[in-house]
Amino acid sequence: MSQSIARPVVLVGVGEIGAIFAQGFLKLGHPVVPVTRAQTLMPVLAATPDAEALVLAVGEAALPEVLRAVPADWHDRLVLLQNELLPRDWLSAGIEDPTVISIWFEKKPGKVAKPLIPSPVYGRQSALVQAALATLNLPVRVVTSRAAMLQELVIKNVYILTTNIAGLRVGGDVATLWQAHRPLAEAVAAEVIALQEKLVQQPLDHAALIDGMLAGFEGDPTHACKGRTAAARLQRALLLAAELGLKLPTLQAIAAEQP
């Protein structure tokens, strides 16, 4: 008896995280068509019109340009997975409702991916993403509404910005940050949440966001605070705050301390 061949997945960006997704899709039987920095997106899409999904695994800085290059007939197949992601990022490119996953696993070169907590995902491609990551024992939790996914995106933003920015001052891991430097962590988190509220143009549940951040802390207490992109995240946050007329004194003080 013949079996149907799984449709391909187009993957833009084949770094550490992109490679994880590629491995998961391959384990499900989906051919993976990579798009590297040396390639142009449109010819690849034209050659794979029947693709199941288009996964953008590029970094945060490269995302706006890539989003603008995605044709309208691919919008419902789009999967986004960047940190610091918010609806304004895809809406500004004319994309209404992509599949979005907030990644809560860590992948370092030469090491197996390590989950902290289940990664929430929302959108048409949720089941595909969940199945692909399940092949690698990376838990995924499907979210059923845009509002719930917005909450999840902001939680991850609060987690990563708070730990990275506070880590520029004190270093260490997330457990030590909360236990030994809690006033700093709370001050940074409060300013990060204020920035997120401006970016999403609505009030947010501060307590729920802090609880979500702490769940991430509990998932990996020894997770290092200061990532390699911490300084860039701080500068990006301050630039956004300036555009929005928002003063963030704690973040500005930490920025002034940097070499």
Q: Where in the chain is the domain with CATH 1.10.1040.10?
A: 147-257
Instruction: Look up the CATH number of domain 147-257.
Output: 1.10.1040.10
And the tokens for 220? 């990996």
Closest by CA position to 238, among listed 209, 258, 220, 213: 258
- Count Cα atoms within 13 angstroms, Cβ side, for 56: 29
pLDDT in the model for residue 110:
83
Q: Where in the chain is the domain with CATH 3.40.50.720?
A: 9-144
Helix (H) or strand (E) holding 16: helix 16-28
Residue 180 neighbours by CB distance under 10 Å: 11
Helix (H) or strand (E) holding 43: helix 41-47
Residue type, 258: Q
pLDDT in the model for residue 108:
83
Under the phi-then-psi rule, with left for phi > 0, alpha for psi from -120 to 50, and beta for the rest, what region is 81?
alpha
Low-confidence residues in the chain, pLDDT < 70: 1-3
Q: Bridge partners of 54? A: 10, 78
Query: Which fold does the domain 9-144 belong to in CATH?
Result: Rossmann fold (3.40.50)
pLDDT in the model for residue 3:
60
Q: Where are the alpha helices (DSSP H) in the chain?
A: 16-28, 41-47, 63-69, 87-91, 126-134, 146-170, 174-180, 182-200, 206-219, 230-243, 249-257
Looking at residue 122, what DSSP letter applies?
Answer: E
> Quick one: three-class SS letters along 126-150?
HHHHHHHHHCCCCCEEECCCHHHHH
Total residue length of the chain? 259
Prediction pTM value: 0.94
Q: What is the pLDDT of residues 207-217, one digit of tens each?
A: 999 999 999 99
